Structure 1
């Protein structure tokens, strides 16, 4: 690791402690940290990597575990001694993937089965050596993302045959070696096999990115379809309590919906998709959800302005938020957001009507690109963030590997 990789382009109340190129597979999407090891899903390099982060100043890649060919496995979940990895068809053409409903453009039944679709389950009792113990096959395009924070139930977004795009599937996870789907839920208009017709513009993509679940409340992010609050007390029969969509007039593509149950709030992140804000300015929103049947937006976070990030190149805007996982740092006041070419941003929402940015760290440009797309700019693309119980911040990049950061006073 060269020292210049530890010198940020911009920092406020944060510093970089360490960096890993993930064994030469520097593309990373979701990161989870458990027992001194980070698990990073890849989007270009296939599979996932295991990184020893017990010394945050000198992280070491110890293993790469490939997945079947032509298969995305960019999203991971850990709790205790279990790791879950998504499997879905590789969908690298972003314009094809993000504009309009995938199920209207691809016949998922007729797809050549040259990829894996479902979730793989690993035993990580030996943290450095994950051992596969189960696979749940999901017919269709596969599983995009999973939410599981321990317990009996896992929540998947997946595109099965007959639907326009990804829907919610609830999985009985009491036996991790043999998970079973017990129910499905979708927005009205998505079940074309049942004769439903969509009411949204064909360029909009109504699809569940994922749902974050706290207790019996699931908050769903439906990309251009907005947000839903879902009662999952009966996992066999989930019910939508409310549906709100700010798109249009705002730019859409809701990506994260984090409930903050102690305060009756929800923190919502929209994903920036195209360079130079080509798909509009994306925002983070604060919702009042004290009445789950009537969620109300009450504020948005300030947009980083310490540099001209629109002109910088690449994608400028939020992507993911640290999801207050039970084995990580938990706060209903500080929101840690990956901001693509603007690094990691920390927002204080103690006053939910006036959020304030209180810390930031923008790593330097990568030495080279992992992204094979022609003519990509050589800039960072910080896509995920995880904060451990000690307050260390782990941020992944599409091209630059894993950064470990520290926030002052945390």
Structure 2
């Protein structure tokens, strides 16, 4: 648990000088619309949403070289982060469709559309999924000219694309193709392109030299027996996956699949095989997954309330709307503990575990994570049985009582980038003995759901 109390470090162990721990009181909730941080976190800059996307919410992030790509329900923007203290928007593309989960590879940007449109164009409008001609799926852009991204291809997928995960090819295939694991869900008997049982994912093959020929190449069934559909408290029964994180160099993936947590063997990219499955009585909706660098532990998040509810309060407690940390032991998922931010939020603040990434500190398991209106949390789960927060950034409740908050918070080359629904892109810096070891690690590309190993003081592999 993070503490603002002065700490005395004795033999490498922090000892609190004042031995009182009080529960969060309403007086601890920051003033409306005010930024507060722990002493080790600096708010470097806020980059407002470009005018063209100001009316729609920011979502996921991807990174490449000196650029951050910011997804938004209305499209996406490209931000020059060469000097994070002077980051600026280079371009924005208006191309509506929830949720605009993004990945980048070479000169290609892939975006996920999980809202039914009247066609696949950027000028499309919403149209009922009960109409066979409606479109949802994946859009592919050429981003070689950062000032003028070009839309080159769409691929329709069953039930749309809520999220997508970029998977590099293997061996000789690596230079030729990338694959997209598309997660989608919520089938219905009246939806011609999304009929039950939708217990599968869609895999798009993208030939790198001819991305305009990208197409669905496989639709493997993850839950031949239907998955977890009866557990009390589930947001919705399992019918596909919400998000998949791949660790391609180790040929494994972790699926956050609504009512189920899943491990896959992805040594055959077009035929991922389920190797382990688990459920959790406290989990309402398995939302996302993060492997540790050694791939011996995986952290899953639970999106209790679908992201719209106030669940970071005393009434909900510490074990729901949280992270669950599992050891991978003999191929099985073995529960270790829950982690939830210790800072209680107001009852007007939607708050729950959401998207985060590892901070590449050798030999430690350290993560930064978004919690909607709970802000950004820095957590150390090196001991998977005793995770703790050691830094944070958040804003107080909104004066008008509305929701919002940070959708995704990721570490990239020395800074943390946080995509806020309404407030744009926040750039943060943490100065802490636990994370300072990451400063030498540099990567030239980061798609968080496509994990790469890191070594000390060098590039990601």
TM-score computed with the length of structure 1 as normaliser: 0.78
1:208 aligns with 2:241: yes
C-alpha distance in structure 2 between counterparts of 1:150 and 1:12, whole Å: 39
Cα-to-partner distance string for 1:282-328 (whole Å, 9 max, x where unaligned) = 11111111322x21011222x3334x31x34221221112267xxxx
Q: What is the aligned-residue RMSD (CA, Å)?
A: 3.2
Sort the Cα spacing of 1:330 and 1:133 in 2 relative to 1 into closer, same or farther, 3 A. Answer: farther
For residues 197 and 216 of structure 2, what CA distance do their matches in structure 1 show? 19
Is residue 155 of structure 2 the alignment partner of residue 129 of structure 1? no
Counterpart in 2 of 1:9?
36
Equivalent runs, 1:124-273 vs 2, <5 Å: 124-138=143-157, 140-148=158-166, 150-151=168-169, 152-159=178-185, 160-165=193-198, 167-175=200-208, 176-183=211-218, 184-190=220-226, 204-206=236-238, 207-215=240-248, 216-223=251-258, 225-246=259-280, 248=281, 250-260=282-292, 262-272=294-304, 273=307
Counterpart residue number, 2:78:
50
Q: Closer, same or farther in 2 for the Cα pair 1:55/1:199, shift >3 Å?
A: same
Separation in 2, partners of 1:359, 1:298: 22
Q: 1:124 to 1:229 in 2, by over 3 A?
A: same
Partner SS state of residue 185, structure 1:
coil
Partners of 2:145 and 2:33 lie apart in 1 by: 30
Q: How many angstroms does 1:122 deviate by? A: 1.8
Query: What SS does structure 1 have at the residue aligned with 2:310?
Result: helix
Task: Find the partner of 1:275 among 309, 313, 317.
Answer: 309
After superposition, what is the alpha-carbon deviation per residue over 1:5-44, rounded to whole angstroms, capped at 9, x for unaligned? 997223242111011111133521101122222211112x
Runs (4+) of structure 1 exceeding 6 A deviation are 4-7
Q: Are 1:6 and 1:18, in contact at CA under 8 Å, matched by a contact in 2?
A: no
Q: How does 1:248-397 map to 2 (within 5 A)?
A: 248=281, 250-260=282-292, 262-272=294-304, 273-277=307-311, 280=316, 281-292=320-331, 294-301=332-339, 303-306=340-343, 308-309=344-345, 311-322=346-357, 333-363=365-395, 377-378=401-402, 380-388=404-412, 390-397=413-420
Residue 95 (structure 2) aligns with: 67
CA contact (8 A) 2:78 2:90 kept: yes
> 1:46-94 CA distances to partner (integer Å, 9 max, x unpaired)?
11122222332233223221225xx324211113322111122169xxx
Provide Cα deviations, 1:350-373, integer angstroms capped at 9, x if missing partner: 222211212111135668xxxxxx
Contact 1:396 1:403 in 2 (8 A): yes
Q: Which protein is bigger by CA-based radius of gyration? A: 2
Alignment gaps of 5+ in structure 1: 92-105, 192-196, 368-375
1:119 to 2:138 alignment? yes
Q: How many residues align?
A: 361
Question: Residues 340 and 28 from structure 1, CA distance in 2 versus in 1: closer, same or farther, beyond 3 angstroms?
Answer: same
Are the aligned partners of 1:256 and 1:269 in contact in 2 as well (CA < 8 Å)? yes
Shift of residue 381, structure 1, vs aligned partner: 1.1
Q: TM-score, normalised by structure 2?
A: 0.70
Instruction: Check if 1:41 corresponds to 2:67.
Output: no
Aligned partners of 1:275, 1:203: CA distance in 2, in Å? 12
Matches of 2:354 and 2:235, distance apart in 1? 21
Local SS of the residue matching 1:85:
strand
Do the aligned partners of 2:348 and 2:397 also contact (CA within 8 Å) in 1?
Answer: no
